[in-house]
């Protein structure tokens, strides 16, 4: 199993949906895509952020006429059905079914042409960047996908290769009980195991940073973000 990772960066004005993430720093999105053939696609998307920022994207999330998937200058010719699954103060989750596709330059619909054994996609979005992780059984046609996607990008979009890695597990916020990212989870786990949250503390932030081989500021930031996500998830479940 291989994880092909790449990032698409959007200029301001290149994509209406992405512009909302550029303008609103609190917004984060993770989506899982699946498709079995080039004629249909399923998308499960989780968007988190401050309540006022989420309210600004509510209309776009449910707009079935808005093309949020094509990376070229051509809009998808397809039928879109959008359903809202979660509507909480700091998160929205939608399920979109794209069917009757006659033409669409969405990355999953491009990729499925090259991987007959099936493929799964995870896309994380913040600010001007959308990072894609493509999970495939083998890496035989990854180069063809790379060439096709980078060749079809619309003006204002840039493609950068991240990595191609053989792996045994795949992490996703949509598949885990909290919105904590992997790097935040690593620091939080180390802090708990080393007694950072005990009273009195058994390790200082400086000592924890030294053990992890990270700058103190990075450890502090990741701990703050992890605890903030846990607090928000707890409140959302209670509401």
pLDDT tens, residue by residue, 30-46: 999 988 788 899 999 99
- Mean of pLDDT over the chain: 86
DSSP 94-150: EEEEEEEEEE--BHHHHHTTT-TT-EEEEEEEETTEEEEEEEES-STTHHHHHHHHH
Average pLDDT over residues 43-63: 93
Q: Given this model, what pLDDT does residue 1 score?
A: 75
3-class SS at 184? helix
pLDDT over threshold 80, residue 235: no
Out of 31-35, 81-85, 184-188, 228-232, which region has the weakest mean confidence (pLDDT)? Answer: 228-232
Q: Given this model, what pLDDT does residue 238 score?
A: 45
Q: Cβ contacts of residue 229 below 8 Å, gap of 6+?
A: 178, 179, 180, 184
pLDDT over threshold 90, residue 19: yes
pLDDT in tens, 94-130: 999 999 999 999 999 998 888 866 678 999 999 999 9
pLDDT in tens, 209-222: 999 999 999 999 88
In this structure, the dihedral spanned by the alpha carbons of residues 195, 199, 202 and 207, taken in order and rounded to 10 degrees, is 90
pLDDT over threshold 60, residue 180: yes
- Which residues, in sequence order, are bridge partners of residue 103? 77
Domain coordinates in residue numbering, the chain:
2-173, 182-238
Cα–Cα distance list, 213 to 33, 102, 204 (Å): 35, 51, 14
Full-model pTM: 0.70
Q: Given this model, what pLDDT does residue 168 score?
A: 60
Out of 45-54, 84-93, 121-130, 164-173, which region has the weakest mean confidence (pLDDT)? Answer: 164-173
Average pLDDT over residues 62-90: 90
Q: Given this model, what pLDDT does residue 116 score?
A: 67
């Amino acid at each position: 199993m291989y994880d092909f990772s790449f990032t698409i960066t959007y200029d301001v004005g290149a994509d209406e949906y992405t512009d909302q993430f550029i303008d609103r720093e609190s917004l984060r999105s993770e989506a899982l895509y699946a498709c079995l053939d080039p004629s249909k696609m399923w998308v499960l998307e989780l968007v988190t952020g401050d309540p006022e920022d989420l309210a600004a994207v509510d209309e776009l999330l449910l707009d079935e006429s808005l093309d949020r998937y094509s990376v070229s200058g051509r809009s998808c010719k397809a039928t879109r059905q959008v359903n809202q699954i979660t509507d909480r103060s700091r998160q929205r989750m939608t399920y979109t079914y794209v069917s009757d596709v006659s033409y669409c330059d969405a990355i999953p619909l491009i990729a499925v042409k090259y991987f007959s054994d099936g493929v799964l996609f995870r896309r994380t979005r913040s600010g001007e960047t959308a990072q894609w992780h493509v999970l495939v059984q083998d890496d035989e046609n990854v180069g063809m996908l790379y060439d096709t996607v980078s060749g079809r990008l619309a003006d204002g979009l840039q493609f950068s290769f991240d990595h191609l890695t053989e792996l045994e597990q795949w992490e996703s916020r949509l598949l885990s009980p909290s919105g904590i990212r992997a790097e935040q989870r690593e620091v939080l786990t180390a802090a708990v195991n080393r007694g950072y949250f005990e009273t009195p503390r058994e390790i200082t932030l400086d000592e924890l940073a030294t053990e992890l081989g990270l700058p103190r500021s990075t450890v502090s930031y990741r701990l703050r973000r992890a605890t903030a996500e846990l607090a928000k998830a707890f409140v959302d479940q209670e509401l």
